[in-house]
Every structure is written in C-alpha cells, then in structure tokens.
C-alpha cells in the first residue's frame, strides 16, 4: 500500500511539498507537473476532475483556498477516504502556517519553508494510516475521530483541567494518555472535533519534551490568528495541553502546572492503568468479543480496545495490531454508513427518503464483525468466527446498553 500527497501552488504550478508513505518511489517533478497539468487543462474546459479510480486505488485533486492544489494518490488496497485525508492535510497546513499565508502565497519560498514544520505532523498522520505500522507508533483509527479512554476519573480530572485552564487564562485544556484523550475542560467542546484531533496530533508528535509552546492556527475557530498551544508532560506518556493567549510566559506556566497537578498525581497514575483496556473495569465483555470500537457520534470520540479480558490467554491467534486494523477497515468501509452525520455535507443531498441503516455485519473466514447504532453511540465489535449472527446482535445491544447506563462512562 502507499499514499502520496502532493501540494502544488495552483496558479504557478510550483510544487510546495510532496509526502509519501509506503512502497512507492518518489514522485518525480515532471510527474507532478503532468498531474497538475491534467487538473488545469480540465479547468480550462469548464470541467473539474472529481476523482479517478485505478485498480485498487484512487487519484484525487482538490483545490483549497483557491491557491493550493492537493493531489492525493492511494494504491494497494488501503481503505481510506482520500478526500477526507486531503482535507486533513489541508487542516494541518492551516494549523501550522495560518490560512492567510496559504491564500496569499506571495512568497512561495517562504511558505514552503514555513510548511516544513508541519512535516512531522503530516508524516505522523500518513504513517498511522498504514496498517503494518500501527503497532509501532501511536495509532490513528480514523481520520475523523478522536481516540479516547473511558474512565471513572474523567469527571474529577475535568475539574482539575478547568482550574488549570483558568489559571493560565486559557479556555481549552485536555489531558491525554498515550495519545488518547482522557478528559477535557468543560469548554473544550467548543473546539471543532477536527481541531481537537490536530491538537492531539501535536501532543503525540511531541517527542517527549517536558514543556513546549507552539503557535497554532485553529482552522475553524481562528484560521488567521495564532493561539499558543502549551503541552506539558506530567508523567511518561501523560500530557496536558492547553490553548491560551500570549500570557502567561512559559516559565510561569511551569509553576502553575506544578500547583495544579501535584495533588492529582496518584489519580493520574490510576487512570493510566486503564490503558490499554481503555474501558472502566466495571464494564465487562463476553469472552467471544475480541475487540471493540465504540464511537460517540456527537463529539466524534471513539474508544478502541483489544485487551478486554484479563491477560490469561494471550491473544496468539490474532495479533493486537491486526485486530485494530480489522476493526478500522470495518469501520471505514461499512460502519460509516450507519452514521450519515459523519458524511461531508457535499454528498448528503438526497431528496428522497433514504433507508436508515441500523446494523451491519461481516463474516470473514476468521472473524465476525458487527456494528450497531443506538442513538448517539455506535459500537463495532469483533467476534470470534464461531458466534452466531443473532448472538452477535444480542451481545452488541447489551454492550450498548451497558455503556449508556454505566455511571463510570463519562465522554
């Protein structure tokens, strides 16, 4: 499998950057020019290339801000929404350099240089698409979902985060463990889910620095004015992130962090134990459940777990990473259909009443997959192959019911 993302200045045709992941060779300059040429040529004839399919893949052109054209090429049977990927790439670009600079493109060389700082984020995102590397780094399940951990401590931690955000005169703060969102300040939902994802990506791409500030442009909220994103490492793999204005200075924040979080050290350690199960212990699963992905549709958060049972029988049959890839593929290919809200507005226009999809399942040679939606929760479950379809349906709805009623679940 391979993914290539190329950015070209629309007017001038100057290549801005090209990132790739996978087995493909690097794309040559002439190829980039030809690809751009195809798009420009069809534009001259009042047509626009929406998408092109090749065997096992696709090529897509997308123009953003009327200044940058992104070209995406994906091959080799990777199931991913190329359009979504390109819009994420564009978000990252705005996140790093701001919308204004991308629109103007007066000094292309300057923009090219500035965009270099988003390479780590880009590479990180492309890398996480590859199923084979999922185990090595912090995973991305789906481009449009925020990976989270469900724990009983979330509510208490929220108070701490609120307090912390207040003391640094910011509004939005969150706590992440292993790149998973654990808890947020109460105003955090004001941020667009995609912005949240970018912030989490930022923490994840942060290579262990204890305290760091990054100027960020929030693509939806303030694409032209930069905020200050401050990430602070509390414990190994535990970060708190806050978005705030120019003050207070970093040195002062260091002290505030200590004040605010000292007393929570024990609790955070406890919370850390929830990983990698990612669900509170009060929620139990049938032995036939091999993996689960629960999605809260309203705030685009998801919880994935493949370590549902005590580690007595080590998962020899399927490696954990594989299970994750399976569930992700299932989600991207089929389950997304259950959630029309997640679709982009563009293709949501259909005057005729459509059937509401409630459940979907796959049977493969080795597993069974089942996805069921109940109001705002969608759960995709990976079962052993021996489970009957009607049993799957029962278990899945039981899980959904548990999650809806459990007191330990706090999204």
Partner 1 sequence: MNQYKRKITEESPCDSDNDWTNSSDDSKYSDSESSVPEWDSDVGEDGELVYIKLKPVEVHEENKTPLLENCETFRPRSNFKRSSTRRSTKGRIFKVLKVNKTKNTDDTSKKHLDQGTSSHNTPSTSKNYYEDNYKFIVVQVSKNMIFSSEKNCQIEKLFGISLETHSDNKTLVVVDFLTEARAIYMSKVKKGYFLYKINGIEVNSYNINSVLQRIVEDPSSPKLTFQMPTEEQNIFSIESLLVIKGAPDNTLTHVLNESMCSVLYICCNDIEYNSNDDKGVLYCYPRPFNQNFLYNTRGAYVTMNHLAPKSLGTSEPISSTILYNNILINVTYTSHYSDLLLIAFPNNDIDLFCAKKLIIEIVKLLEFLYGSLKACFTKPNNVDKLDGLFSRIFVTLLYGNNSKSNKNILVEDVLAAHSITLPLDVRVQVDDAITELEAADYREWTDDIDNFQRLYTVIGSCLYYSGHLLSSHLQDEDLKEINAFLKLNGVLNMSTVKEMEKLVMWKEVFIHEHRKQSKNDNHEYRIPDGRWFLLVVGKGHFILSTLMEAGGCTEDAIGVTPPSPFYVEECESCLELLYEIGLDKYMSSWVRSNTHPQLEIVPEYLTKYGKKIKEINSLKPESSQKSTLKISKSPLEVKKRHSSSEHVNTASNTSDNSISTYGSHHNLYSQWYNGQKYRHSNLDVSYSEDSNSLKSTSEKSEERVQGRRADRELRNRRESSGSDSDWDGQEGSRASSSIDMSDIRKSLLNEINHVTIHRITAGEENVLFHFIQLESEKGILIAPVKNIEAQSNNILYSFIIKTFRSACKKIHELLQHSIRFKRNHAPANPLNKILVAVKEYGILFQAPMEILNQCGINKKNQETFQFWVVGRVFSEPEPRELYICYHESIPQDLTEVAYLLSYLE
Number of Cβ within 10 Å of residue 31's Cβ equals 15
Per CB under 8 A, does 319 bind partner 1?
no
Q: Which of residues 383-402 bind partner 1 (CB under 8 A)?
A: 389-390
Stretch that binds partner 1, among 161-169, 192-200, 237-245, 361-369 (CB under 8 A): 361-369
Residue of the chain from 135, 364, 398, 404 that contacts partner 1 (CB under 8 A): 364
Stretch that binds partner 1, among 55-63, 110-118, 219-227, 254-262 (CB under 8 A): 55-63
Residue of the chain from 208, 310, 351, 353 that contacts partner 1 (CB under 8 A): 353
Residue of the chain from 17, 119, 362, 410 that contacts partner 1 (CB under 8 A): 362
Helix (H, G, I), strand (E, B) or coil at 194: helix
Per CB under 8 A, does 245 bind partner 1?
no
Quick one: 21 or 301, whose CB is closer to partner 1? 21
List Cβ neighbours of 372 (8 Å cut-off, separation of 6 or more).
358, 359, 378, 379, 393, 396, 397, 400
Per CB under 8 A, does 326 bind partner 1?
yes
Query: CA-CA distances (angstroms) from residue 291 to 250, 276, 336?
Result: 41, 12, 18
Cβ atoms of 236 and 198 within 8 Å: the answer is no
The span from the CA of 390 to the CA of 263, in Å, is 48
Per CB under 8 A, does 350 bind partner 1?
no
Per CB under 8 A, does 76 bind partner 1?
yes
Residue of the chain from 95, 361, 377, 380 that contacts partner 1 (CB under 8 A): 361
Stretch that binds partner 1, among 53-61, 190-198, 267-275, 291-299 (CB under 8 A): 53-61
What does the buried/exposed string (b/e) look like for 208-242 if buried means 16 or more CB atoms within 10 Å of the residue's CB?
A: eeeebebebbbbeeebeebbbbbbbbbeebbbbbb
Per CB under 8 A, does 365 bind partner 1?
yes
β pairing state of 301-305 and 377-384: unpaired
Residue 184 burial (10 A CB sphere; 0-12, 13-18, 19+): buried
Cβ atoms of 96 and 89 within 8 Å: the answer is no
* Least distance CB 87 / partner 1 (angstroms): 18
Q: Which of residues 10-49 bind partner 1 (CB under 8 A)?
A: 24-25, 27-28, 30-31, 34-35, 37-38, 41-42, 45-49
Query: How many chain residues interact with partner 1 (CB under 8 A)?
Result: 59
CA nearest neighbour of 236 among 256, 263, 208: 208
CA nearest neighbour of 35 among 3, 73, 66, 64: 73
* Least distance CB 2 / partner 1 (angstroms): 9
Number of Cβ within 10 Å of residue 188's Cβ equals 21
* Least distance CB 77 / partner 1 (angstroms): 4
Quick one: 55 or 109, whose CB is closer to partner 1? 55
- Per CB under 8 A, residues contacting partner 1 are 1, 4, 24-25, 27-28, 30-31, 34-35, 37-38, 41-42, 45-57, 59, 73, 75-79, 131, 325-326, 329-330, 333-334, 337, 353-367, 389-390
């Amino acid at each position: 499998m391979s993914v290539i993302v190329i950015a070209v200045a629309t007017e001038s045709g100057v290549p801005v950057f090209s990132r790739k992941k996978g087995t493909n060779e690097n794309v040559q300059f002439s190829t980039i020019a030809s690809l751009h040429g195809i798009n420009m040529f069809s534009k001259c004839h009042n047509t626009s290339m929406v998408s092109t399919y090749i065997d096992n893949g696709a090529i897509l052109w997308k123009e953003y801000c009327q200044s940058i054209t992104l070209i995406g090429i994906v091959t080799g049977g990777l199931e991913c929404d190329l359009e979504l990927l390109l819009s994420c790439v564009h978000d990252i670009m705005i996140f790093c350099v701001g919308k204004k600079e991308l629109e103007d493109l007066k000094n292309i060389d300057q923009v090219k240089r500035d965009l270099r700082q988003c390479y780590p984020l880009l590479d990180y995102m492309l890398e996480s698409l590859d199923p084979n590397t999922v185990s090595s780094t912090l995973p991305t399940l789906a481009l449009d979902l925020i990976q989270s951990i469900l724990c009983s401590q979330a509510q208490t931690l929220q108070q701490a985060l609120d307090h912390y955000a207040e003391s640094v005169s910011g509004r939005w703060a969150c706590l992440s463990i292993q790149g998973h969102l654990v808890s947020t300040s109460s105003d955090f939902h004001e941020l667009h889910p995609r912005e949240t994802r970018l912030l989490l990506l930022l923490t994840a791409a942060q290579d262990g620095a204890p305290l760091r500030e990054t100027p960020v442009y929030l693509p939806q909220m303030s694409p032209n004015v930069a905020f200050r994103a401050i990430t602070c490492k509390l414990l190994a793999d535990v970060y708190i992130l806050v978005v705030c204005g120019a003050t207070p200075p970093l040195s002062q924040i260091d002290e505030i962090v200590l004040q605010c979080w000292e007393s929570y050290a024990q609790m955070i350690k406890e919370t850390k134990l929830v990983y990698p199960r990612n669900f509170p212990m009060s929620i139990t699963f049938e032995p036939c459940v091999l993996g689960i992905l629960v999605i809260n549709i309203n705030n685009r958060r998801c919880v994935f777990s493949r370590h549902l049972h005590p580690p007595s029988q080590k998962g020899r049959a399927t490696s954990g990473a594989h299970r994750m890839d399976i569930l992700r593929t299932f989600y991207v290919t089929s389950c997304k259909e259950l959630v029309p809200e997640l679709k982009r507005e563009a293709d949501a226009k259909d005057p005729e009443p459509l059937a509401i999809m409630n459940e979907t399942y796959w049977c493969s040679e080795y597993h069974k997959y089942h996805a069921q939606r109940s109001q705002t929760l969608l759960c995709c479950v990976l079962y052993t192959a021996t489970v009957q379809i009607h049993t799957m349906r029962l278990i899945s709805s039981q899980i959904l019911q548990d999650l809806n009623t459990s007191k330990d679940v706090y999204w």
